[in-house]
Amino acid sequence: GQQVMQIPQYQHVQEGEDFTTYCNSSTTLSNIQWYKQRPGGHPVFLIQLVKSGEVKKQKRLTFQFGEAKKNSSLHITATQTTDVGTYFCADQTGANNLFFGTGTRLTVIP
Amino acid sequence: GAGVSQSPRYKVAKRGQDVALRCDPISGHVSLFWYQQALGQGPEFLTYFQNEAQLDKSGLPSDRFFAERPEGSVSTLKIQRTQQEDSAVYLCASSLDPGYYGYTFGSGTRLTVV
């Protein structure tokens, strides 16, 4: 079955440092969506990537979709304490199923 | 409404009790999804509705789980004869068009079976 793994599982950074989480799939990804879930909260949609090699930016966040559509990454520049949470990638395998990765939990030390 | 509303926010059930979890999606969102999220894990798909039609229920873990959306808006997830392994956060999400837009999740219902 489909497996979407994210690394690292946990990441502790000092405030101001950069952070990257990687999303890797055993099969070709369809559309990748990224979500952020704050502690005790619910997933919040960040962005969707559709095209091979696509790169999108949102302020300090940079999202990339691999050329072979088997991986994706999220990079945060100069982390802030508000970036704390778990970041999930999710593959939209069809019109009716979003398959979530294992998540990367980010802790930012002030 | 402005967002996806779920109730109750917390539910404690005794083992063997039936529970009903409610989801009120964003007005106009035809697609509605239920997910189950265990502690420290990512959300796992349970079922999907397009309007009132349940198009995919492949993620429901057993026949004790039942979902409905009779009028194509509010949805209810029912769990019969709850077991301890049912303890999790149940998330509802809706989308205007899941092929093009992200999902908007509700705050979830945290179910604890004791």
- Grouping H, G, I as helix, E, B as strand and the rest as coil, residue A81 is helix
3-state SS string over B82-94?
Answer: CCHHHCEEEEEEE
C-alpha–C-alpha distance, residues A45 and A23, integer Å: 16
Q: Is B42 on the interface with A (CB under 8 A)?
A: yes
Report the residue of B5, B6, B105 to disrupt the A interface, i.e. the one with the largest count of A CBs within 10 Å: B105
pLDDT in tens, B15-74: 999 999 999 999 999 999 999 999 989 999 999 999 999 999 999 999 999 999 999 999
- Whether residue A17 contacts residue A110, with contact meaning beta carbons closer than 8 Å, is answered with no
pLDDT in tens, A8-21: 999 999 999 999 99
Which of B56, B102, B106 is opposite residue A42, by nearest beta carbon? B106
Quickly count helices (H) and strands (E) in chain A. Answer: 0, 11
Q: Among B45-54, B80-89, B93-102, which is the least confidently predicted range?
A: B93-102
Omega cis (within 30) before B25:
no
Give the distance, in angstroms, between the CA of residue A95 and the centroid of all CA atoms in the same chain. Answer: 20
